[in-house]
Amino acid sequence: MMIFMWLIFIFMFVIGNMIFVLKHKHLLIILLSLEFIVLSIFFFMLIFLSYIEYDMYMLMLFLVFSVCEGALGLSILVSMIRTHGNDYFQGFNLL
């Protein structure tokens, strides 16, 4: 059963990274893939901390930081859509 959970974590992490690398035209898709990677890391921490029978305080701290990261990403998305009209990276000049 434990091997099955590890395989689910590895599969989620690899799929999240593949979406992040291959679908990089829209900022929204990048943010969703980053949140999927964060969800897979949360799943890994849940498995690992329950395996060693450790306190789940670190999971709460991780969730707080991931929510802050998601809110920051959404605010960047909204400001980019307001200034440029879309969320394409090709129309966004980084210089």
Q: How confident is the model at residue 89 (pLDDT cuts 50, 70, 90)?
A: confident
For each of the domains in the chain, give its residue range(s) and CATH number, in order of start.
Answer: 2-84 (1.10.287)
Name every residue whose Cβ is closer than 8 Å to that of residue 89 and which is 6 or more positions away in sequence. 24, 25, 26, 27
How far is Cα 56 from Cα 16, in angstroms, rounded to an integer?
24
Question: Which tens digit of pLDDT belongs to each residue from 28-77?
Answer: 899 999 999 999 999 999 988 888 888 888 899 999 999 999 999 999 88
Q: What is the DSSP letter of 52?
A: T
How far is Cα 29 from Cα 33, in angstroms, rounded to an integer?
6
Question: Which tens digit of pLDDT belongs to each residue from 2-20?
Answer: 788 889 889 999 999 999 9
Kindly report the pTM of this predicted structure. Answer: 0.84
Give the closest residue to 35 by CA, choosing from 88, 86, 73, 80: 73
